[in-house]
Amino acid sequence: MKHSKLVEETILYVKKEQQFTLLVLTNLQKIDHEKIFLDYNCQSLFAFCTDILKYNDSEASVRVNAMRLLGQNLGVSEKIESGQLTLSSAAMIQRFFVAEEKENNEQLTSQKKTQIIEEMQGKSARATQEALNAKRSNPRPKTYNLVVNEETYTKIEHISHEMGTKDQSKILNKLCDEHDEVSSLKEELLCCQQLLAKARTELSKKVPANPPAGGEPMPVQAVPEAKSRFIPTEVKRAVLLRAGGQCEHRSHVNGDRCKMKNSLEFEHCKPYSIDGSNDVENIKLLCRGHNIREAIKVFGAQKISPYLHKKT
């Protein structure tokens, strides 16, 4: 084969590769929107890309970031398809947007984003990175200096050993998540106490404190049990025992059980909103991700999405 023919053919294949890349990103968008990756026991789209699609970490990160940029309707798909924007440039631009918004605690406008994308068109990956670096606002490194006593140090060492990591930021993150869980349990407890107090008041209205001496005992009317979405503690205990403190979701593909033991939530199999009961059989223990996926299956991604960014 003549060299010119070989190059011509390679250019054609690269063009086709760009078209397939775009198809992969479009499908990843759908998988992400419906959180279908959770059906495969992957806790994130990134994990789905590495575990199921077999991309390495860097390939997965590039695709997830490029997909997020694509989802912002800034005309990126046309640019990737035509080769004006490479996959890695799209990923770099997305990382830049996220970092800038976080840094300045302010959303970049669509106009500003489009302008930056236009500027990066036709640049190599290295040139894109250099151009974006030049645009960065002054990065302020966020550090958290911690001085602890011997007892706290031992506790942190223990948690570090249990988590199998020495990464202080991961340890701190886990402790914060657990604090959130305890806070939500406290909230639940408060609601239960309020319900109990209300029931006591109702009951005291029906049974006088000092029944008349010698008289017939006052008939005690049963107070109808208020239907509550709060799952009784004894039910939670039974479900926890049954689940062994691990997410109860099983993969639809191979039946493997989800391995998550953190951020677990109690969920109604038949949703409470459509008359699901608080019986042990109707309650399952799910990790946050699988809980969201179940909700999407019942109510649809559209209805659930407003709740996803409240606390995830």
Which residue ranges make up the site for Zn ion (CB under 5 A)? 247, 249, 258, 260, 287, 290
Residue among 310, 300, 289 nearest 39 (CA): 289
Q: Which residues contact 82 (CB under 8 A, 6 or more apart)?
A: 18
In angstroms, give the least distance from the CB of 271 to Zn ion. 18
- Pick 81 or 177: Cβ nearer Zn ion: 177
Q: Is 303 exposed, middle or buried (0-12, 13-18, 19+ CB in 10 A)?
A: exposed
In angstroms, give the least distance from the CB of 13 to Zn ion. 40
Residue 13: CB atoms within 10 Å: 9
- In the block, residue with structure tokens 């953190």: 262
Q: Which residues contact 124 (CB under 8 A, 6 or more apart)?
A: 86
In angstroms, give the least distance from the CB of 268 to Zn ion. 16
In angstroms, give the least distance from the CB of 174 to Zn ion. 17
SS3 (DSSP) at 43: coil
Distance, C-alpha 130 to centroid of its chain = 32
DSSP result, 144-184: ------HHHHHHHHHHHHHHT---HHHHHHHHHHHHHHHHH
- Pick 100 or 267: Cβ nearer Zn ion: 267
In angstroms, give the least distance from the CB of 274 to Zn ion. 23
CA distances from 211 to 88, 157, 199, 208, 220 (A): 81, 61, 20, 6, 12
Give yes or no for a contact between 136 and 100, defined as CB atoms under 8 angstroms apart. Answer: yes
In angstroms, give the least distance from the CB of 65 to Zn ion. 25
- Pick 95 or 257: Cβ nearer Zn ion: 257
- Pick 35 or 113: Cβ nearer Zn ion: 35
In angstroms, give the least distance from the CB of 249 to Zn ion. 4
- Pick 83 or 271: Cβ nearer Zn ion: 271
- Pick 160 or 246: Cβ nearer Zn ion: 246
| DSSP-assigned letter for residue 227 | P
- Pick 132 or 260: Cβ nearer Zn ion: 260
